[in-house]
A = this chain, B = another copy of it.
Amino acid sequence: MVKAKVLIRPKQGILDPQGKAVERALPALGFDGISNVRVGRLVELETDDPSALDSLCEKLLANPLIEDFEVELEEEALS
């Protein structure tokens, strides 16, 4: 069993309305000097076959047209 972390983020150049909404809310809450907010998804899972993860991301977790994904494996030998 391998623990994996999948980071999914909007592609460079793709509009990110959620990020824009966060940016716009910041001054009212007293936070200044924050920019380039991008909101994506984090998926954590355990798998027997880490080689299938790229295909899984393309088919189910991310939308490859508008999102980039990155798979990070945390080897945890629980067998």
Binding site for B on A (CB under 8 A): 1, 7-9, 19, 22, 25-26, 29, 31-49, 52, 56, 59-61
Contact = CB atoms under 8 A, between A and B. Distances in A.
Contacts of A48: 32-34
Nearest to A59: B29
Assembly stoichiometry (copies): 2
A18 B36 CA distance: 27
Contacts of A56: 26, 29, 31, 34
Contact of A33 (B9, B32, B35, B49): B49
A44 B36 CA distance: 8
B25 A60 contact: yes
Contacts of A44: 9, 36-38, 40
